[in-house]
Amino acid sequence: MKQCPKCNSEYEEEYTICSDCNCELVEKEVIEEPENNNGKISKGFLFILAIVLILFSPIISFKLTLIYFNLVDVQQYSAENFKWMLGAYHQSLLVVGIIICLHCILYFYKSHKS
């Protein structure tokens, strides 16, 4: 399919010049369907969110550990303190994981709904 660049009339392949405006015909541009940008944005957003949350989880656990150590007034590290620190880290990872999973489930649900 060919098309006149001036009047946008469509012609069959064998024509080369527009009969109305004597313009040279060009190949008709395939008009692409407008892509769903919302899906792309939310995908990228979720990816960034996941990375940020993963990066933040050690910071969260570190802060929790600091709060705990200040509360119990730790003078020196013991096995119990170390266990608490590990627990805080694991729990913050768990919370972050749940948040990421919730977003993924929501996204999956939304994309399959429409």
Angle (deg, nearest 10), helices 37-72 and 79-113: 160
Residues touching Zn ion, count (CB under 5 A): 7
The nearer residue to Zn ion, 1 or 67, going by C-beta atoms, is 1
Q: State which of positions 6-65 bind Zn ion (CB under 5 A).
A: 6-7, 18, 20-21, 23
Shortest Å distance, C-beta 15 to Zn ion: 11
If one asks whether residue 72 binds Zn ion (CB under 5 A), the answer comes out as no
- 3-class SS string, the chain: CEECCCCCCEECCCCCECCCCCCECEECCCCCCCCCHHHHHHHHHHHHHHHHHHHHHHHHHHHHHHHHHHHHCCCCCCHHHHHHHHHHHHHHHHHHHHHHHHHHHHHHHHHHHC
The nearer residue to Zn ion, 21 or 67, going by C-beta atoms, is 21
Shortest Å distance, C-beta 103 to Zn ion: 52
The residues binding Zn ion (CB under 5 A) are 4, 6-7, 18, 20-21, 23
